[in-house]
Amino acid sequence: MAPPSPTARSCVSAMSLPARRRSALITAAVVAAVIALQWLALQQYQEVEASRSERAFARTVDQATVSLIQQTVLYQNAVLGLRAHYLGSDEVTVAEFARYARALEIEQAVPGLRAFAFNREVSEDDREAYVKWVRKTLSDYDPAYASFDIYPVEPGHTHHVVETIHPPLGNQRSLGYDLMSSDVRRLAIARARSHGFAATPPIRLQQAPNAVAVLILAPVSTPGWNGHFSNQQTVAASFLVNDLINTAIAPALRRRFHLQIVDLGAEEGLDTYPAVLFEDDAIDNESLPYRQTLHRTHIYGGRRWDIRFTPRNVELNLIPMPVIVLLMLGGALMAGTITHLGQQRIRRAARNQALADQALDCVLEIDADGLVRSADASTARITGLPRAQWEGRPLWNNVVEEDADAVRTGFGKVVTEGAPVALECRLLRPNDEARWVEMRLGNQLAKRTIGAVLAQVSDINARKQAEAEIERLAFFDPLTKLPNRRLLEQRAEMTFSAARRHRGRAALLVIDLDGFKQINDNAGHATGDTVLATVATRLQLALRDSDTVARLGGDEFVILLGQPANEVDVRAAAGRLTRDLALPLNVDGRNWFVRASIGMAMFPDHGTSFAELLSRADAAMYRSKRSGSGLNTMAGPIP
């Protein structure tokens, strides 16, 4: 075959030229389209990363805010628990105050709280007599009271004086301080009396003048130092704001933001002078356009706190620009780019896992039938149960029997109604120990990317234990573990109500120990406390389980007898108690003796209310004491 002629070769070249030009145009168009798509994708990517960073920071802010609020509520509950202790007792001595404060275990149960205090209202006319009374009465308990005085010296107004403080170590400088000498403290006292609880603006404590602190107060009613009853006293606690922040917010969380807390003034707007409660070190302003301060408001004790969070490091995990340029120029480095993105995703997953390891809760994925599909890595740390004990089993499988129905019902409500549900329950651990958790259930079944009910589980065991301890201290005498007057009155009214329905009887016995004061004076308060605890045990052993033994204070006990047949039964019970209490009380190898003077009153013969019967029985008891030690006297007929 003959080779193409020069004319033919010229035609082929002429025909291939438009094709090459068209290919170049298509290539250019594709490249332009790819570059345009990549540019649009880049813009979208930057927006998504910025939005993700903002959402992540908002979650961090919410977590820190909740922790901060929970810590302040814990402080408030501690003060209100102390107030309940005062309201439930006829009189709280300095020793009983110290025992209560020690029982709270401040460093463990309410970390960050600096001290508890009892503050007494003293008129200017009574100032000198009150100081003498404190020095004489309380110096035996603590030698520091021997030099007690009210300061600063500002005559002409009523004083509100720090009389008792615990722990004393590092806080004795506050003894005798007149809170009325400070305008902000005086306003807080007034608000506490009108609202039941109050907090001050930022102040400087006498014992820590270089740090910003907050004083929280609650009103109490107690017998006055001069024998007159007064409702002008307060109980208080103080905390350094820096300690509050360090206790409430974990260091890992703190590193993510710059924190500032500003007291904007009273909730009612009585004052309008903001004051800084707390502020972290200054931050670098180079990237301020990317920083957005988030504000959260917290009303605490009548004060409006503005909590401000500014991110320290804005994480916009963008692909480096050189890589983007290379992607736009061609696909030669596509494999490397994919690898880069994969590594970026791995780093992001590792970062998310690190956040999960530091989280205060765990997440369970549950199908529509209630079976746990997966549990995250924090599950064992939060619940005390391994992941294998959750996965593949019903959500309520590890819940104690008494709470399982509530969890099952709550889960069903989430599935059928779609509304989120929060509930508290106890988990049964392998050692048969129950552990309190809070479950927050959300229905995500309709979302294709999730398709499950999510349960966020938080460990609230420590909080529940603290609440139970505070409730116990509100209803029981801390020394004898017997019910106090508050609980006795509740049980008495229930007993009287049952007696009315069944036309039955009930009785109150008031017991006063003769000879106890001599034991206290001769052997000291520790021996006296042991004697009181032993007497309480004897009284409980001498009565039925349906009867109630209570301590009203000092060496005075009250017994509630439910459904005695008649007066003879009541007198017989009093006789048994007299004989049992007359037996020797052995304390530290030495025998002590007390005798009981008992006054008795019967329902409905001598009254139909707790106050009436207690008054009649108390009067009968005093008749016993006047007639001679160790006697039992029944209340006389109602005139």
In which element (H, E) is residue 12 found? helix 6-87
User: What is the dihedral angle through the alpha carbons of 199, 202, 203, 209, rounded to the nearest 10 degrees?
Assistant: 130
Q: What would the DSSP string read from start to end of 303-369?
A: EEEEEEEEESS----PPPHHHHHHHHH-STTHHHHHHHHHHHHHHHHHHHHHHHHH-SEEEEEE-TT
Nearest Cα residue to 564 out of 499, 632, 622, 490: 499
Residue 23 lies in a domain: no
Query: Tokens standing for 248?
Result: 């409430």
pLDDT of residue 483: 92
What CA dihedral angle connects 447, 453, 458 and 459, to 10 degrees?
-160
pLDDT at residue 19 above 60? no
Instruction: Decide if 51 is inside a domain.
Output: no
Amino acid, res. 384: G
pLDDT above 60 (res 127): yes
Residue 128 shares a structural domain with residue 267: no
Taking only the tens place, the pLDDT of each residue in 58-74 is 999 999 999 999 999 99
Mean pLDDT of 555-567: 89
Task: Give pLDDT, residue 11.
Answer: 47
pLDDT of residue 342: 64
Assess contact for 617 and 508: CB atoms under 8 A.
yes
pLDDT in the model for residue 1? 46
CATH number of the domain at 549, please: 3.30.70.270
- Position 52 scores a pLDDT of 85
CA distance 583 to 592: 9
Burial class (CB within 10 angstroms; exposed 0-12, middle 13-18, buried 19+) of 148: buried
Which CATH number goes with the domain that contains 437? 3.30.450.20
What share of the chain has pLDDT > 70, as a percent?
86
| Structural element, H or E, at residue 587 | strand 585-587
Domain membership of residue 323 (yes or no) is no
Structure tokens at 581: 């209490």
Task: Round to whole Å and give the CA distance between 241 and 560.
Answer: 47
Q: Which of 38-42, 117-121, 137-141, 229-233 has the lowest mean pLDDT?
A: 38-42
Helix (H, G, I), strand (E, B) or coil at 293: coil
162 in the same domain as 192: yes
What average pLDDT does range 538-557 have in this prediction?
A: 90
Q: pLDDT grade, residue 509 (50/70/90)?
A: very high
Going by pLDDT thresholds of 50, 70 and 90, the confidence category of residue 559 is very high
From CA 575, how far away is CA 580, in angstroms rounded? 9
Last residue of a domain, one of 191, 216, 246: 246
The pLDDT of residue 583 is above 70: yes
Phi, psi of 562 (to 5 degrees): -95, 130
What pLDDT is recorded for position 336?
Answer: 56
Q: Could you read off the pLDDT of 305-327 as tens digits, one per residue?
A: 999 999 987 665 666 667 767 76
- For residue 40, tell me if it sits in a domain: no
Domain that holds residue 289: 258-311
Query: Under a CB-based contact definition with an 8 Å cutoff, are residues 574 and 620 in contact?
Result: no
Say whether both 93 and 150 belong to one domain: yes
**Is pLDDT above 60 for 8?**
no
Residues 488, 504 contacting (CB under 8 angstroms): no
- The model's confidence at residue 80, banded by pLDDT at 50, 70 and 90, is very high
Rounded CA-CA distance 159/175 in Å is: 13
Tokens 């692909």 correspond to what residue? 319
- The Cβ-side half-sphere exposure at 444, using a 13 Å CA radius, reads 16
- Verify that 219 and 282 share a domain, yes or no: no
| Mean pLDDT computed over every residue of the chain | 84
End-to-end CA distance of the chain: 149
Q: pLDDT at residue 622 above 50?
A: yes
Q: How confident is the model at residue 212 (pLDDT cuts 50, 70, 90)?
A: very high
Predicted confidence band of residue 51 (pLDDT cuts 50, 70, 90): confident
627 in a structural domain: yes
Let me know whether 457 and 577 are in one domain: no
- Amino acid identity of 199? A
Q: Is the pLDDT of residue 266 over 70?
A: yes
Let me know whether 235 and 263 are in one domain. no
Which stretch of 27-36, 109-118, 143-152 has the lowest confidence by average pLDDT? 27-36
Neighbouring C-beta atoms of residue 480, cutoff 10 Å? 21
- pLDDT at residue 2, rounded to an integer: 46
Residue 270's pLDDT is 57
Does the residue 436 lie in any domain?
yes
Closest CA to 297 of 268, 263, 271, 270: 263
Q: State the CB neighbour count (10 A cutoff) for residue 202.
A: 19
Query: Among 48-52, 202-206, 364-368, which is the least confidently predicted range?
Result: 48-52
Q: Check whether 511 has a pLDDT greater than 80.
A: yes
Q: Are residues 450 and 480 in the same domain?
A: no
Specify the range with the lowest mean pLDDT, choosing from 346-360, 366-380, 587-601.
Answer: 346-360
Last residue of a domain, one of 200, 215, 246: 246
- For residues 109 and 162, membership in a common domain is answered with yes
**Residue 301 neighbours by CB under 8 Å, 6+ apart:** 76, 188, 191, 197, 198, 199, 200, 216
Both 146 and 219 in one domain: the answer is: yes
Pair 213, 241: CB distance under 8 Å: yes
Looking at residue 213, what is its pLDDT? 93
182 in a structural domain:
yes
Residues 547 and 622 reside in one and the same domain: yes
The average pLDDT across 441-459 equals: 88
Q: What is the number of domains present in the chain?
A: 4
| HSE (side-chain half, CA atoms, 13 Å) at 49 | 16
Q: Are residues 242 and 264 in the same domain?
A: no
% the chain with pLDDT above 90 = 39
Lowest mean pLDDT among 294-303, 345-354, 511-520, 617-626: 345-354
Q: Are residues 462 and 484 in the same domain?
A: no
Q: What does the pLDDT read at residue 548?
A: 92
Q: pLDDT (tens digit, 9 = 90+) per residue, 495-508?
A: 999 999 988 899 99
Alpha carbons 189 and 185: distance in angstroms, whole number? 6
Say how far apart CA 143 and CA 308 lie, in whole Å. 46
- Tell me how far apart the alpha carbons of residues 35 and 546 are, in angstroms, rounded to a whole number: 86
Is 399 part of a structural domain of the chain? yes
**pLDDT at 171 > cutoff 70:** yes
